[in-house]
Amino acid sequence: MTVDATNDYAGANTAGADELADLRAMVRDFLADNSGEEAVRKIAEDPDRLGYDPQVWSRMADQLGLLQLAIPDRFGGDGFGFPELRVVLEEMGAALLCSPFVSSVVFAAQSLLLSGDEEACARYLPGIGGGTTIATLALAEEAGIWDPDSCGTTAMPDVGGRWRISGTKSFVPHARAANLLLVAAQAPEGPSLYAVERGAAGLTVRGLETLDGTRPLGEVLMVDTPAVLIGTAGTAAESLRRVVDLGGLALAAEQVGGMRRCLDMSVTYAKERIQFGRPIGSFQAIKHKLADMLVRAELADAATEAACAAVAADWEDSSSAAVAAYITASEAFGHIAAETIQVHGGIGFTWEHPAHLYFRRARAAQNLLGGPTATHHRLLERMGV
């Protein structure tokens, strides 16, 4: 059974300014205790940890209810939307939280909601919101293009209404941690979406070497792998494009949090580091750097906030706004992370300093959805150019 779910991702509920401030404070305090630099390094440097701490993930679900925040009420969630998600994602980005939050709560959950498949949503979303199901979207392939029309993975109907998928997906976020893969494949009718559960026959998942260990990527190989169709065969192209736009917006919110933390680190160091008898923050060159970083951060913040509001209101140009926010935040975070290293001087280049962790996250986030060129093309398409 399918329904018109076009407004689900907008969120039926809206939090006020005071509620958003309380949410931010709660998440920030939680991450201060559970996602410090030492914890981030342990997870990022150990591939056996699969990119997250299961205990922290469980507490995020059970104690804070973060995983169900943007899932509709009828599927066991709180029914909020991107303005509320933005607050959570900013704090996660500031703390470099290692978790499959974006993969599961944004990419996967939005893929289900936008499919319009009520039965699939009822089957999978409660588990995603409760943290017992870790899901991810397998869309890109070897070329790294996040567009359903470029899929070479094929799906053929099988007995009993099931399907079988063959092909290879690459750059799949948190693939090794996921127990539910939502796979985009070409059916005879056209681009379609399928659910593949961990342990399915013919399924092999392996990790990829990545620049940013805080968000591991994987390769998914399928050979006649049994799958369940999500939605209607041949109709997934537009909804998947929308999912990519929303995923980019989620990354933008994370990036805003990361660049804010970099700016804070830089300002603090510039006040404390003494050269020639005075703080380096009093030097004109450092002042200019910090001012430029602040302007870029403010612009990215404004673009992200506006895009989240557009998505919540379901404006016609909300997809363009989401892609524009991702482009703006990606460029700003990359610049600010690099300047953070420069402001810190020699110590900023060392492995012991956290600046390189933010630099790696910035570069990886900018390239996750195909890189700047592909993202700019995506914006032009959304604008009808």
Domain closes at, from 215, 236, 257: 236
Average pLDDT over residues 380-384: 94
Residues 219 and 141 placed together within one structural domain of the fold: yes
Domain that holds residue 140: 136-236
Which residue matches tokens 């524009």? Answer: 324
Q: Quick one: 329 and 339 in the same domain?
A: yes
Instruction: List pLDDT tens digits, range 71-125.
Output: 999 999 999 999 999 999 999 999 999 999 999 999 999 999 999 999 999 999 9
- Confidence tier at 9 by pLDDT (50, 70, 90): very low
Quote the pLDDT of residue 8.
55
1 lies in a domain?
no
The CATH number of the domain holding residue 254 is 1.20.140.10
Asked whether residue 194 is domain-assigned, the answer is yes
Indicate whether 117 and 216 sit together in one domain.
no
Task: Report the CATH number at residue 183.
Answer: 2.40.110.10
- Mark whether 312 and 356 lie in a shared domain: yes
Q: What is the predicted pLDDT for the residue at 130?
A: 98
The answer to whether residue 164 is domain-embedded is yes
Asked whether residue 177 falls in the same domain as residue 251, the answer is: no
Same domain, 189 and 55: no
pLDDT in tens, 130-185: 999 999 999 999 999 999 999 999 999 998 889 999 999 999 999 999 999 999 99
Q: How many residues does the chain have?
A: 385
Final residue in a domain of this structure, among 218, 236, 254: 236
CATH classification of the domain holding 117 = 1.10.540.10
- Please write the tens of the pLDDT for every residue from 32-57: 999 999 999 999 999 999 999 999 99
Mean pLDDT score of the chain, rounded to an integer?
95
Q: How many structural domains does the chain have?
A: 3
- Rounded to whole angstroms, the Cα distance separating 240 from 246 reads 10
Q: Does 150 share its domain with 210?
A: yes
Each residue of 312-342: pLDDT tens digit?
999 999 999 999 999 999 999 999 999 999 9
**Residue 321: what pLDDT?**
98
When pLDDT is averaged across residues 251-276 and rounded to a whole number, the result is: 96
Residues 219 and 147 grouped into a single domain: yes
Q: Is residue 206 part of a domain?
A: yes
* 2: in domain: no
pLDDT at residue 5 greater than cutoff 50 = no
**Same domain assignment for residues 156 and 229:** yes
pLDDT of residue 15: 80
3-class SS string, the chain: CECCCCCHHHCCCCCCHHHHHHHHHHHHHHHHHHCCHHHHHHHHCCHHHCCCCHHHHHHHHHCCCCCCCCCCHHHCCCCCCHHHHHHHHHHHHHHCCCCCHHHHHHHHHHHHHHHCEHHHHHHHHHHHHHCCCCEEEECCCCCCCCCHHHCCCEEEECHHHCEEEEEEEEEEECCCCCCEEEEEEEECCEEEEEEEECCCCCEEEEECCCCCCCCCEEEEEEEEEEEEEECCCCCCHHHHHHHHHHHHHHHHHHHHHHHHHHHHHHHHHHHHCEECCEEHHHCHHHHHHHHHHHHHHHHHHHHHHHHHHHHHCCCCCHHHHHHHHHHHHHHHHHHHHHHHHHHHHHHHHCCCCCHHHHHHHHHHHHHCCCCHHHHHHHHHHHCCC
pLDDT bracket for residue 13 (50, 70, 90): confident
- Final residue before a domain boundary, out of 236, 265, 295: 236
The CA distance from 165 to 141, in Å, is 14
This prediction has a pTM of 0.95
Do residue 358 and residue 294 come from a single domain? yes
232 and 266 part of one domain? no
> Are 244 and 361 within one domain?
yes
Residues of the chain with pLDDT > 70: what percent? 97
